[in-house]
Amino acid sequence: MRARDAELHALVGAYALDAVSEHERARFERHLRGCRQCRDDLHGLREATARLGLAAAVAPRPAAREQTVQAAGRIRQVPPSRYKTGTAWHRTTQPWLARTSMAVAVALVAVAGGLGWHLSTMQDRIATMQHHDAAIAQVLGARDAVTLTASVTTGGSATVVMSHRADELVFTADGLTRLPSSRAYELWLMGPAGDQPVGMLPPESHGMAGPMVVGRLAAGDRLGLTVEPAAGSLRPTSTPIVLVGLGG
Amino acid sequence: MTGPVGGQPDRRGRLRRGPDRGRAPAGADAGGNAGSLATMLGLVARGDEAAFRSVYDKAAPAVLGVVRRVVRDPAQSEEVMQEVLLEVWRTAARFDPSAGSATAWIMTMAHRRAVDRVRSEQRAAARELRAAVASIEYDQVVDAVEASLEHERVRRCLAGLTDLQRESVVLAYYGGYTYQQVADLLGVAVGTAKTRMRDGLIRLRDCLGVD
């Protein structure tokens, strides 16, 4: 064994205890891929560190349970990995992004209370941010996907690709009129039960705004776009500049 | 059940490593019993909310326990605990029983996230001050019997380590320190801290495995 490998190998205990720097963590994980022995050792040591954790168990606040379950309902799950490496299962494809989104979800749940409307908007945004590509692929790939386009009264056009089976749609717009920085486009689900904010349309890039993924469609919903103060509104404060009927 | 997370198979010496390396499969708690955490994770991966509640019930106290040890601040700890459980929900499909037990999978995530939180938090002093003020209302004793059984078992095994091994492991795991920091705290060379962590964990693993 080369000296460098031996040195890395000795790191297995510190790594199992998360007692390494970011840099060493990355280095050791690269080493792990090619070191069967290290993986075996690591698995055993992790069972041991898990027990150190179990020994410290304390009861969470009872209310935390429902908060967590509710937040989970708003988070799209990842599909099984095609690659079972057997080593890096703690790694997710976008660790920092997932971490951020999860923290936001938790923070939102914590402030939920009387802010139900806000929560659902934000959580839609989180879901969008987190699994954008997967969700878009799912909708676009759905067998029952239909595409609707509509003109925006103030300029530009909106495109909706919708799958009832996936219970989701993808919204994009192009050629929208540029707004002053104090204003922004906000997307709404406008249905019999009232207007639900979906979220602020991200600024255009390459002439296209979005895509935004909208889920949990209800019968009679229409998708509307309005111009709102940049921070967003609780309820639409202006007439929709495009309104797309979703059927169903 | 040996603790709030985990299961009976722990008793079968999953962690034992004999000369023939004849330990039980790493994912021993993935066995067919319907209530096992690994089975539950399979259901969670398919979006089963009831299964997620069960996983929460089994895992949350241990997750919170380790996070509390590392993060200290009760409110932040609860936040991290919820993040971990949500990560379990999100990535349940990625759990690979051949790479270790469900318990280890979850606890690894929990400890990693707690440590990341502490290291990204520069204001350690502020954190501890807040913790001191806020700790009381959050502290509750859970299932005292289960927790104390596991606690006792681990305590006994820790006692079998050399002082340096034990201090290195405990400072790293419960304190969230890096091995360089542990070396400084104990006044030993960094290489020493590193190897004591490894040797200590191996001994701990063997002791817990032959339970």
Give the model's confidence band at A205: pLDDT under 50 very low, under 70 low, under 90 confident, else very high. Answer: low
pLDDT at position B139 is 36
pLDDT at position B20 is 37
Size of chain B in residues = 211
pLDDT at position A213 is 80
Nearest to B68 among A10, A52, A58 (CB): A58
Listed ranges A37-51, A74-88, A91-105, A107-121; the one with the highest mean pLDDT: A37-51
pLDDT at position A170 is 83
Sheet bearing A208-215, strands edge to edge? A146-151, A157-163, A168-174, A208-215
pLDDT at position A44 is 92
pLDDT at position A3 is 65
Tens digits of per-residue pLDDT, A144-183?
Answer: 777 777 888 888 888 888 877 777 788 888 888 888 888 8
Give the model's confidence band at A2: pLDDT under 50 very low, under 70 low, under 90 confident, else very high. Answer: low
Higher pLDDT, A167 or A52: A52
d(CA B160, CA B155): 9
pLDDT at position A196 is 82
Higher pLDDT, B151 or A55: A55
- Cβ separation B169–A17 shorter than 8 A: yes
Give the model's confidence band at A35: pLDDT under 50 very low, under 70 low, under 90 confident, else very high. Answer: confident
d(CA B168, CA B198): 9
pTM: 0.57
Q: How close B188 gets to chain A, by Cα (Å)? A: 15
Give the B window 28-87 contacts with A, CB below 8 Å. Answer: 45, 47, 49, 52-53, 56-57, 60-66, 68-69, 78-79, 81-83, 85-87
Listed ranges A175-179, B23-27, B126-130; the one with the highest mean pLDDT: A175-179
Listed ranges A122-126, A192-196, B131-135, B195-199; the one with the highest mean pLDDT: B195-199
pLDDT at position B138 is 34
* Eight-state DSSP code of residue A88: -
pLDDT at position B43 is 93
User: To 5 degrees, how large is the angle CA A224–CA A229–CA A231?
Assistant: 100
Nearest to A58 among B17, B95, B140 (CB): B140
Which of B162, B173, B174 to probe the A interface (max A CBs under 10 A)?
B173
Q: How close B122 gets to chain A, by Cα (Å)? A: 15
Would the pLDDT of B188 be above 90? yes
State the virtual CA torsion across A195, A199, A200, A204 in degrees, nearest 10.
Answer: -120
Tens digits of per-residue pLDDT, B132-173?
Answer: 434 333 333 334 445 567 788 888 899 999 999 999 999 999
- Cβ separation B201–A54 shorter than 8 A: no
Q: For chain A, what is the mean pLDDT?
A: 75
Q: Give the 3-state secondary structure of B91-102.
A: HHHHCCHHHCCH
Please report the number of interchain residue pairs, chain A to chain B, with beta-carbon separation below 8 angstroms.
265
Q: What would the mean pLDDT of A87-101 be, rounded to a whole number?
A: 39
d(CA B125, CA B38): 39
CB B74 within 8 A of CB B138: yes
Q: What would the mean pLDDT of A4-33 be, rounded to a whole number?
A: 89
CB B97 within 8 A of CB B9: no
Q: What would the mean pLDDT of A138-145 be, rounded to a whole number?
A: 70
* Distances from the Cα of B22 to the Cα of A35, A38, B16, B202, B208, angstroms: 20, 17, 8, 16, 16
Would the pLDDT of B108 be above 80? yes
Higher pLDDT, B211 or B119: B119
Listed ranges A88-97, A189-198, B200-209; the one with the highest mean pLDDT: B200-209
Would the pLDDT of B44 be above 50? yes
Element (H, E) at A38: helix A36-54
Q: What would the mean pLDDT of A82-92 be, rounded to a whole number?
A: 37
Q: How close B91 gets to chain A, by Cα (Å)? A: 6
Q: What would the mean pLDDT of A3-15 be, rounded to a whole number?
A: 84
Tens digits of per-residue pLDDT, A207-227?
Answer: 677 778 887 777 778 889 999
